[in-house]
Structures are given as C-alpha cells and as structure tokens.
C-alpha cells in the first residue's frame, strides 16, 4: 500500500468531545469517524487492525474445537419472550415493527438464538459442541461515550458451549478461560480474571477479564500478594475488628437539628463517627418496602443486593414512599421499632453495639443501639462495596481498588435458555434432559480501543505487531530523488514478498510531517530511506515501542527487518 493513495485522514488536534485517550488517538490517527452518538465508521486502517483482532480470536477459538456460525441481527419477539428477557431487558434493547406489525428486536446478544438452533440436537452423542460467531450487536446505551469503549453498535465474538452435564460445562468453561488468556496475551494485554456478577445473563458463575485503565468504568478489587480479584459487584474483604463499648440498656433518643447526612452527624458535637452509625436505605422490592442497613462509612454494592435477593422488580423508594413507611425523611431514618418492615442488614453490622441511627422523626436520632437486640433483622447479607486497604479474603493482605476496562466475559448459563427454547437431548439412560450451556464474549471494537489505551505515548499509538494495521512503514525522505526512490521501492517490494504488512510513505511532504504521522498512526517499525544514509550505505530502523534506532546495511536491511517483525509475532 502507498500512503499517497491510501485513505489515512490524520488530524493535528484532538476531537473536542473526546475524553478517553483511545477516542482521541483513533480519530486523530484516521482510524475511525463518528456517524452519530455511539456509532462509528472504521476507515481502512481501522478495519485492518480489527480484522487482525478477529483473526487472532478465530484462531484461538478453532484451537478449542469451536465451529463458526453466522446468525441474524434481527430477532422475533417470540424467541425473547420464551426466555423472559423481552420484558426484563428494558430500554437497552432496540425494538421495531415490520410492515406487517410484527415486533422485532436488534440482537443485544444471541443466547436465545443459539439455544433455538441447539434444539436440533437430539442425543448426548451429539455433545459436546462449541459454537461461535462474529456479529454486530446493538444496545441502546443511555450515555454512549469514550469512543469505542461504550457504543450502541459493536462487533462481538460470542461463543456458546453445549454439554450434557455440569462436568462438561466446567471443562468447556476452563477451555475458554485458557483461550481467552492466550487471546489477550496476543493483544498485548496484562489482564486480570475476576469474579463477576452474571446480571441479566443469568447462570451461576461468571468471570470478567479486566484491563487496568483510567478509561475504564468498572472497579476491581485486586490482591497483589495472592492474586485474588473480583469486580466490586462481587468482591469481598476482611475488615479490622472493632471493640464496641457495652453501650446503654436501651436506645436513647437525642436531638440532631439540621442533620441530613452521615457526615453531618459525624461533625456534630455529641454525634458519632461514620463507622459507629447505621445507614438506612429504603428499597421497594416486588412492591414491598424493605430497609437495607449498612455501616455509615460503607456504600451499598447494589448488584450484590440484586444477585442475592430473588425479585422481579427492585428500585430505591421515592421520598413520598419513604415518609409514608417511616414517618421521616432521609437523614433521620432507622430500623429500630419497625417490626412490620422487612430488614436486611450487611454482615459488617453483625454483633455491633452502641451504634447511632435515625429515630424516624426529623431532627432526632437514637444512640446506644445494639443491632441484634434492638432491630429485627430478617436477613444478613454481604452488601457493602469493598474499598482499598481492606484485607484480602484469601490472604488478608491489603486490597487495591482500581478502574478497569472489561475486555471479555464468560458465563456458566446452565439450562436457563435450553429449557426455554426446548433444547433437550436424550441422555445415556434415555431420559430427556436440557442441554447445559455456557456463554463467552469478546467485544472486538472495544478490544481495539483497549489496545490503544494500553499502548500509546504522547506522540500517538504504539501498536503491538500482532494487531498493527501495517507492521512497517518505509519513509522516503526525498521521493523525487531517484536513488532514494529506487532504494525505497526495492526495500518495499522485498518486505512485501516476505509476507510483511508494509506501507511506503511516498508522499511529497516534509520529513518532519512524515515522521509525526508515522508516530501518530503507530507503525511498530519505521524504516527511513534518505540521501544521507544511502551515501553511507545504510537505512535507519526505528522501533516504535521503545524509540530505539539502528542503522542497517542496505544490502541486508530487508532480512533484518523481517526477522525483527517475525520475532514479535505470536
């Protein structure tokens, strides 16, 4: 490919609306352009990298025996109704009607559709199977942002394992786990596999692959000592033991005028530090008012509540609902003396004494509260959000909490979708049993952006060789100089014949412009062919990753460059 005829629309300045590094650089380097919020067009350069990402994923999926499908993007309502997700998914699903009035959806994911096709399997002898595809997904994100990291239309590799029993699922899950580790290693990622919530996907186990990045939206707790890692939606930790005083024989009401928050009470003379307060949250769960209790300095990990409480509908109560149930406003709420309401308490409150909580009367609180004596707790659950410095649940070393990008997610689905779609097979004893399924996803566009987040500097992108749109750029310092032109063309042809993805920068531009563009676009290797070097019988090879340079004899330059590139491919 010749730069003079290629479409690589580089820009000098960052796009005004871009926050994430990957968003800025992919636009500036000419890899993508926005069509509308959450929808991006990939240019030829961007698509070249995406195809290399896809090729790596396909190669690793084929290694574990996966078979590739191509399924429709548009789905009939009836299939999603069978699984119950037509109503439960909510506004993230794009819905439409055809000219005959039939309800349709643009596929967010394909569990239902693969399970629908799995119904053609009839015997355990047909199992196990691993099926996969590369397909466009659609999700109506309320706030698409950060370029390709949060969009409404994206390409995903989703695969599905089909087994006769849980043991088969375990084996397929482990094969995917190792395949994903290989994939992300080839992307140049240092990922952490973390325990995660299965969310609307269902199932009894899921693992996310997380890449540490300030551009991420997920928070992960990680132990550097033993390797424990979990999304904050699932993370656990060990808290320092607290020695409580004996307290009072009964709760004592006291005035707290103007106190609206945990912080207000902690600052008030005669108040209580946050760790000695009981935070009372009010939720409506399946139409019933429920009180959620946490320590004052702890935050609710709402997904933990969702995962542990079986409910079809759950939401925070509105102010008018709170006052109707407790007779007070937020800031003065408590669970003492409210036996008619269901109370769920976080485990960190178990055994605590001499605590302070709201008196359910505006401007008043209770002190001397002994949780298990004074509050009728119906359920004890782990609900709090883990914070940095708390003890690892495995080895007690301090945990670190940091932002991450989710680059992959694998789920043990069980039989939820096979039962809904009638995907049953005969087992060895002739019984009809549902197929046991797993689901495994990697977002290709997100991976493209995440690679840039992990590999860049102040000058531009630093593509790993495996996913670079071109591995080498041959920069011709003076294209109109006959010797320069001919030497560069010979090198370009030799590299191409050796199977190297090479682009020749034959533009009639100043050398400084060419060098800056090469750094911005992120070619792993740049070969500079100029009159001065040729006069000494050499060309200059620059490695983008570390900025190292070396002169190569013209006669052997191609062989040396090929060797350098192949050493980095895997």
Per DSSP, the residues of 412-476 read EEETHHHHHHT-EEE-TTS-EEEPEEEEEEEEHHHHHHHHHHHSEETTEE---GGG-S-SEEEEE
216 by DSSP, 3-state: which? coil
CB under 8 Å to 106, separation ≥6 — which residues?
Answer: 73, 74, 75, 93, 94, 95, 96, 138
Rg (CA), the chain: 29
**Which residue in 392, 412, 102, 438 sits closest to 222, CA to CA?**
392
Please report which confidence band the pLDDT of residue 205 belongs to, taking 50, 70 and 90 as the band edges: confident
The answer to whether the beta carbons of residues 467 and 52 sit under 8 Å apart is yes
* Omega prior to 128 cis, within 30 of 0: yes
Model pLDDT for residues 429-463, shown as the tens digit of each residue: 999 999 999 999 999 999 999 999 999 999 999 99
- How far is it, in rounded angstroms, from Cα 34 to Cα 23? 10
Tokens of 372: 């298990």
> Which residue's structure tokens are 């309800």?
103
Supply the mean pLDDT for the chain.
95
Each residue of 239-258: pLDDT tens digit?
A: 998 999 988 999 999 999 99
Average pLDDT over residues 49-58: 98
Contacts 24+ apart (CB under 8 A), 305-312: 305/344, 305/381, 305/383, 306/197, 307/197, 307/198, 307/233, 307/234, 308/381, 308/382, 308/383, 309/285, 309/344, 309/381, 311/285, 311/286, 312/88, 312/286
Delineate the domains of the chain, giving CATH numbers in brackets: 21-73+117-235+401-453 (3.30.930.10), 252-381 (3.90.960.10), 470-568 (3.40.50.800)
Q: What is the dihedral of CA 118, 119, 124, 130, to 10 degrees?
A: 0
- Cα(106)–Cα(87) distance, rounded to whole angstroms? 14
Strand pairing partners for 97?
Answer: 103
The whole-angstrom distance between residue 451's C-alpha and the CA centroid of its chain comes to: 13
Task: Please tell me the distance from the alpha carbon of residue 362 to that of residue 375, in angstroms, as a whole number.
Answer: 20
What is d(CA 480, CA 420) in angstroms, rounded to the nearest whole number? Answer: 69
201, pLDDT greater than 60: no
Partners of 474 in the β-ladder: 504, 527
So what's the pLDDT on residue 196?
77
Q: What is the pLDDT of residues 93-125, one digit of tens each?
A: 999 999 999 999 999 999 999 999 999 999 999
* Spatial contact of 529 and 476, defined as CB atoms under 8 Å apart: yes
Residue 380 Cα to chain centre, angstroms: 30
d(CA 200, CA 416): 12
Alpha carbons 319 and 92: distance in angstroms, whole number = 27
Please tell me the predicted confidence (pLDDT) of residue 198. 56
- What SS3 state is found at 555? helix
Alpha-carbon gap, residue 162 to 168, rounded angstroms: 8
Token pair belonging to 56:
């790596």
Residue 493 has pLDDT above 80, yes or no: yes
Q: Is the pLDDT of residue 422 over 60?
A: yes
Q: How far apart are CA 162 and CA 115, in angstroms?
A: 9
- Sort strands 67-68 and 252-255 into parallel, antiparallel or unpaired: unpaired
Res 522 pLDDT > 70:
yes
For residues 331 and 289, give the distance between their C-alpha atoms in angstroms, rounded to a whole number: 17
Q: Sheet of 525-529: strands edge to edge?
A: 502-505, 472-476, 525-529, 538-543, 549-553
In angstroms, the CA 248 to CA 370 distance is 8
Question: Three-state SS for 158?
Answer: strand
Q: CA-to-CA distance for 343 and 372, rounded, in angstroms?
A: 12
Burial class from Cβ neighbours inside 10 Å (0-12, 13-18, 19+) for residue 54 reads: middle
Residue 294 has a pLDDT of 98
Instruction: Give 372-379's long-range contacts (Cβ < 8 A, gap of 24+).
Output: 374/250, 374/251, 374/336, 375/293, 375/335, 375/336, 375/343, 375/345, 376/335, 376/338, 376/339, 376/343, 377/293, 377/335, 377/343, 377/344, 377/345, 378/342, 378/343, 378/344, 379/342, 379/343, 379/344, 379/345
Percent of the chain with pLDDT over 70: 99
Tokens of 106: 């643009």
Q: Say yes or no to pLDDT of 152 above 60.
A: yes
Q: What is the mean pLDDT of residues 294-300?
A: 97
Torsion of CA 65, 112, 155, 448, to 10 degrees: -70
Q: What is the mean pLDDT of residues 361-390?
A: 96
The secondary element (H helix, E strand) that includes residue 170 is: helix 166-187
Give a three-class secondary structure readout of 526-548: EEEECHHHHHCCEEEEEECCCCC
Q: Are 455 and 461 in contact (CB under 8 A)?
A: yes
Mean pLDDT along residues 188-217: 82
Q: Which residue has the tokens 């699984």?
A: 83
Q: What percent of the chain has pLDDT over 90?
A: 94
- Note the pTM of the prediction, 2 decimals: 0.88
Within 13 Å, how many C-alpha atoms sit on residue 520's CB side? 22
Q: HSE (CB half, 13 Å, CA atoms) of 481?
A: 13
- Pairwise CA distance, residues 163 & 437, whole Å: 6
Residues 6+ apart with CB under 8 A from 29: 8, 10, 45, 460, 461, 520, 521, 522
Distance CA 356, CA 253 (A): 10
At residue 178, the pLDDT reads 97
């Amino acid at each position: 490919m010749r730069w003079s005829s290629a479409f690589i629309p580089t820009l000098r300045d960052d796009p005004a609306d871009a926050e994430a590094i990957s968003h800025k650089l992919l636009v500036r380097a000419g890899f993508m352009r926005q069509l509308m919020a959450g929808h991006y067009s990939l240019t030829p350069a961007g698509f070249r990298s995406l195809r290399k990402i896809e090729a790596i994923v396909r190669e690793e999926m084929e290694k574990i025996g996966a078979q590739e499908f191509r399924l429709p993007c548009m789905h009939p309502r009836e299939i999603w109704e069978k699984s119950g997700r037509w109503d439960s998914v909510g506004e993230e699903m794009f819905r439409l009607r055809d000219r005959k009035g039939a309800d349709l959806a643009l596929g967010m994911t394909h569990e239902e559709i693969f399970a629908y096709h799995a119904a053609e399997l009839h015997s355990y002898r047909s199992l196990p199977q691993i099926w996969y595809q590369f397909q466009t997904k659609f999700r109506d994100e309320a706030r698409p942002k950060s370029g390709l990291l949060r969009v409404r239309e994206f390409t995903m590799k989703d695969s599905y394992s089909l087994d006769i029993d849980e043991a088969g699922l375990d084996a397929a899950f482990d094969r995917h786990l190792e395949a994903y580790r290989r994939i992300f290693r080839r992307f140049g990622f240092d990922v952490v596999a973390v325990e995660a919530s299965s969310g609307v996907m269902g199932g009894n186990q899921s693992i996310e692959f997380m890449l540490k990045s300030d551009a991420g939206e997920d928070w992960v707790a990680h132990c550097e000592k033993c390797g424990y890692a979990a999304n904050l939606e699932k993370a656990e930790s060990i808290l320092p033991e607290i020695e409580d005083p004996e307290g009072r024989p009964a709760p004592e009401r006291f005035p707290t005028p103007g106190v609206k928050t945990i912080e207000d009470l902690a600052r008030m003379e005669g108040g209580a530090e946050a760790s000695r307060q009981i935070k009372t949250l009010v939720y409506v769960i399946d139409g019933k008012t429920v009180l959620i209790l946490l320590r004052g300095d702890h935050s609710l990990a709402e997904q933990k509540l969702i995962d542990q409480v079986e409910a079809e509908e759950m939401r925070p109560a509105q102010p008018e609902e709170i006052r109707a149930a407790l007779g007070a406003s937020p800031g003065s709420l408590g669970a003492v003396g409210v036996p008619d309401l269901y109370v769920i308490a976080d485990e960190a409150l178990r055994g605590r004494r001499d605590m302070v909580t709201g008196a359910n009367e505006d401007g008043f609180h209770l002190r001397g509260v002994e949780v298990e004596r004074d509050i009728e707790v119906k359920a004890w659950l782990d609900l709090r959000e883990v914070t940095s410095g708390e003890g690892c649940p495995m080895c007690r070393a301090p945990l670190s909490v940091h932002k991450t990008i989710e680059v992959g997610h694998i789920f043990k689905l069980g039989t939820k979708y096979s039962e809904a779609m009638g995907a049953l097979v005969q087992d060895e004893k002739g019984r009809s049993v549902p197929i046991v399924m797993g689901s495994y996803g990697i977002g290709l566009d997100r991976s493209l952006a995440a690679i840039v987040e992990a590999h860049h500097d102040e000058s531009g992108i630093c593509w790993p060789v495996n996913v670079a749109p071109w591995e080498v750029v041959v920069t011709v310092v003076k294209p109109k100089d006959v010797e320069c032109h001919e030497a560069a063309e010979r090198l370009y042809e030799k590299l191409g014949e050796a199977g190297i993805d090479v682009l020749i920068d034959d533009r009639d531009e100043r050398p400084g412009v060419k060098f800056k563009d090469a750094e911005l676009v992120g070619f792993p290797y740049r070969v500079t062919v100029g009159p001065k070097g040729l006069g000494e019988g050499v060309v200059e090879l620059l490695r983008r990753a570390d900025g190292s340079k070396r002169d190569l004899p013209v006669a052997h330059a191609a062989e040396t460059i090929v060797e350098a590139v192949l050493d980095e491919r895997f």
